[in-house]
Amino acid sequence: MTDDVAYYVDGINKGDYGALARAISLVESDSVLSWKILERIVPSTKIPVIGFTGPPGAGKSTLVRTVVENFLNDGRKVAVLAIDPSSPFNKGSLLGDRIRMSTLFNHPDVYIRSLSSRGALGGLSYKTLEIVDVLKSSTFDAILLETVGVGQSEVDVVSLADRTVVVLVPESGDEIQHSKSGIMEIADLFVVNKADREGADSFFSSLKKTLHHNNKITPVLKTQAEEEIGTRELFDWVRGPLTTEPSKALSLLADRAWRLIVDKKVRSIDKEKLIIQLQEHSEQADFNLYRFIAENY
């Protein structure tokens, strides 16, 4: 792996999958070189990032696959970033999404990358933000982001996605419970997948009534991803024009900047030095951890 920053930047700009993969690996490993690459790229504001989230087993990966296939039929180029559950043993990705999308993996107009969530509570890898910016600096027409599926805590996707699809199934539970959870507040579109199952029509109607009661105009679709029923309507919504308000766009930009600043500051702290300082100060009779942090950091 070369240390030539220009190699990575030029490769990203040209859509070279080899350079792109190596650059993402550098970002994932928190390489010193990665920040130099990130400082040189120019992420496009015109490449839409569509987030897919929802409980495990809802069929997110199958729906994403159908959206990718529709993009390909339209002659478009797509990147898929799939956040997999971390292995409890080595924190690595289980790569389940790659298996489910195996028919697309070698297509020249599709780039699929699985990331380990590494225990991130919001459903996203800590490096997802930077990797999305790398992908937005390349030649893709759209980026699809599928999160790990951990329920109500999975709301960080809204800070990265221009649009967020929340995928549910008839067994997802009482619609009142959903309306109170964080995951239900972030949706730009609800998809009731596996709509051939018992109770699907009732759940669909109840969800729409709940949204109306809460004065929400969020659209709801029914799909059967495996049979590709309703998936064209989903694709039509995904490729529709973005209408982000300037104030919301600025708020999202500030949120991303805050995350990067916090991450950079945390990484600048020398833990070994911290241990030495604590050893010295904690022996004092009036030691106070909060005062120690305020005075030293």
Residue with tokens 């709940």: 210
Q: Give the separation between CA 156 and CA 249, rounded to whole angstroms.
A: 15
What are the φ/ψ torsions at residue 284 (nearest 5 degrees)? -75, 145
Whole-model pTM: value is 0.84
Residue with tokens 């409890």: 88
CA quadruple 30, 36, 37, 38: dihedral positive or negative?
A: positive
What are the φ/ψ torsions at residue 220 (nearest 5 degrees)? -130, 130
Q: What's the pLDDT tens digit per position in 24-49? A: 999 988 888 999 999 999 999 899 99
Domains and CATH numbers, the chain: 1-41 (no CATH), 43-243 (3.40.50.300), 253-296 (no CATH)
pLDDT for position 173: 62
Residue type, 121: L
- Determine how many CB atoms are found less than 10 A away from the CB of residue 122: 20
Per-residue pLDDT of the chain (297 residues; tens, 9 = 90+): 678 999 999 999 999 999 999 999 999 888 889 999 999 999 998 999 999 988 878 899 999 999 999 999 999 999 999 886 554 333 444 445 455 667 788 899 999 998 875 544 444 656 888 999 999 999 999 999 998 665 444 556 777 888 999 999 998 765 445 555 666 678 899 999 999 999 999 989 988 888 877 777 899 999 999 999 999 999 999 999 887 677 777 887 888 888 888 888 888 899 999 999 999 999 999 999 999 999 988
Q: Give the separation between CA 81 and CA 103, rounded to whole angstroms.
A: 16
Write out the H or E segment, with its range, that includes residue 49: strand 49-53
- Determine how many CB atoms are found less than 10 A away from the CB of residue 21: 13
pLDDT for position 99: 59
What are the φ/ψ torsions at residue 59 (nearest 5 degrees)? 95, 25
